[in-house]
Amino acid sequence: MNNEIKDKKRVFIVEDEPDILELIALNLKKAGYEVDKFSEAGPMLAMLKKKVPDLLILDLMLPDHDGLDVCKTLKNDKKYPDFPIIMVTARTEELDVVLGLELGADDYISKPFSPRELVARVKAVLRRNKPPAARTSKKIAIGHILTIDTARYDVLVKDEKIQLTATEFMILKILAEKPGWVFSREKILAGLWGDEKDVFDRTVDVHIKNLREKLGPAGDLIKNVRGVGYKLSNDE
Ligand code: CA
């Protein structure tokens, strides 16, 4: 197909270890992506004035900046455009992962990782971030306080708009489309990743935790069904 070339997605990679930078770049190019490589965060932030990527792969330990700060800046500072971020971390502490996801990163991958796994993550995150095909809005109301517009990607709690990451939104959508149904972590992951689910089970728990916090008073609508998974429901 001709428009496949035109539709080539651009990925920015920030990684200070040259071998890993090359490995990521090579595999993404092979998978059909345009890549821009950066060994520090500063030049990448400067480049954003000229071009905007479809996705950013961001190492957390960089010589010039802490990756978590970069993530926070990109997600909170209105002067930067919005694009998904996959964090790369050598730190195995779960705290960093949780913090990164709270700061708005869409996913993370821990070193060492296989190139195949990385490419699968990139594909899945980009797929989830696709703009809705239909412009018609489809609203789901749970109880009196939570409204989800699945076409416009809007979530309202008591008429106040809530900012969610793409992953949090997708999880909420999966649960909300069948209120009262119990979804196992496995089922939620399958909904998020399709055939490319190569992620840890606990990612779901981290996203759900963040989602509940962001939903505030509506957070209690997401119920943990012990030993099984989660459901979204207005009843006890
Ligand atoms: Ca590093």
pLDDT at 164: 86
Ligand 1 center–CA 62 separation, angstroms: 5
The model's confidence at residue 57, banded by pLDDT at 50, 70 and 90, is very high
Q: If we measure between CA atoms, which residue out of 11, 5, 38 comes closest to residue 118?
A: 11
Instruction: State how far the Cα of 236 lies from the Cα of 220, in Å rounded to an integer.
Output: 10
Checking 191-194 for CB contacts under 8 A at 24+ apart, the result is 192/124, 192/128, 192/167, 193/120, 193/124, 194/124, 194/127
Strands, sheet with 222-225, edge to edge from the N-terminal-most edge strand: 183-184, 229-232, 222-225
**What are the phi and psi torsion angles at 117 (to 5°)?**
-65, -45
* DSSP 8-state symbol, 81: P
Q: If we measure between CA atoms, which residue out of 42, 170, 167 comes closest to residue 100?
A: 167
145-188 pLDDT per residue, tens? 999 987 777 899 998 989 888 788 889 999 998 888 899 988 88
Ligand 1 center–CA 73 separation, angstroms: 18
Q: Is the pLDDT of residue 4 over 60?
A: no
Ligand 1 center–CA 145 separation, angstroms: 43
209-227 pLDDT per residue, tens? 999 999 999 999 999 988 8
Q: Could you tell me the domains of the chain?
A: 2-129 (3.40.50.2300), 139-232 (1.10.10.10)
What pTM did the predictor assign? Answer: 0.60
